Amino acid sequence: MKFADIILESRPCPLGCRPDDELVVMAGDRINNLPGEFRVIRCKTCGLMRTDPRPTQETMGFYYPDNYGPYRGTRVPPGSDSNRFRPVWRRRLNRIFKRLAQTDYLPYMPPGRMLEIGCASGAFLSQMAKDSWEVAGIEFSTTAAESARTLGHEVYAGPIETAAAPEHAFDLVVGWMVFEHLHDPIGALRRIHSWLKPGGWLVLATPNAGSIERVSSHEAAGTNATPSCSANDPVSRVASCDSTRVFHNSSPLRASTA
């Protein structure tokens, strides 16, 4: 796919608010330095930030090439110890995982069935499988999904909107820095809610578009990959299906929802 093939679309606030938005920042792709400039706007009613207009789901893959950091940073050579596989990009997520585990952000529960939304190349799936979890993943990138499959994991390649409902419900669904990339985060939450067992858990880590870094410098963690469709402020309202706890980390990659 070439830049000339990108098709843009404009969408209203996913929370159904009346059209009343304000410009937050104009910026380009800050991860891969790919062409294009995008508007990040904020809904004046609910505060949710999103990229508008945005590339359509069919053309968004241009901004997620095979060398995209999360895909490279989560590759685990078959037979290796995923806990020792820590390239620079992955170290940032490892800090999140450690913080979640050390501060009880993840619920205490015996191993069961876990789904990871946006599993990239499979490092976290491998980590949880090593802890006796039965794991599955959903990954937008066909190349990254195939990398995860070579590790023995069941992974659907494509957007969550087209994934089939599981035959058996999940005890735990996680998403690490992925919901701000979804075209329909509300629809995704509803689907996940239907895939969970009664009493099951959804645990998310998301950038905080209301962080001091964004307010002071307009370099929001939630907008550093500008072509992605929606930043996530406020997290608690977006995750209103069954959200029970919201924690804010001191890291620039800071908001976690359980």
* Range from 49-58, 96-105, 134-143 carrying the lowest mean pLDDT: 96-105
Residue among 16, 18, 40 nearest 27 (CA): 40
Q: For the chain, what's the residue count?
A: 258
pTM for the model: 0.77
For the segment 207-258, what is each residue's pLDDT rounded down to a tens digit? 776 665 555 555 443 334 455 545 544 444 544 444 556 666 554 333 333 4
The fraction of the chain above a pLDDT of 90, given in percent, is: 34
Q: Which comes out higher in pLDDT, residue 74 or 132? A: 132
Burial class of 67 by CB neighbour count within 10 A (0 to 12, 13 to 18, 19+): exposed
Q: How does the average pLDDT of the chain come out, rounded?
A: 77
State how far the Cα of 119 lies from the Cα of 158, in Å rounded to an integer. Answer: 11
Residue 71, both tokens: 């895909």
Contact criterion met (CB below 8 Å) for 165 and 146:
no
Q: Which comes out higher in pLDDT, residue 27 or 22? A: 22
Residue among 181, 183, 175, 180 nearest 204 (CA): 175
| CATH architecture classification, 64-257 | 3-Layer(aba) Sandwich (3.40)
Residue among 256, 220, 216, 214 nearest 239 (CA): 256
Residues 6+ apart with CB under 8 A from 192: 115, 117, 160, 173, 202, 241
What does the pLDDT read at residue 216?
53
Burial class of 118 by CB neighbour count within 10 A (0 to 12, 13 to 18, 19+): buried
User: Torsion angle, CA of 180/186/192/193, rounded to 10 degrees?
Assistant: 140
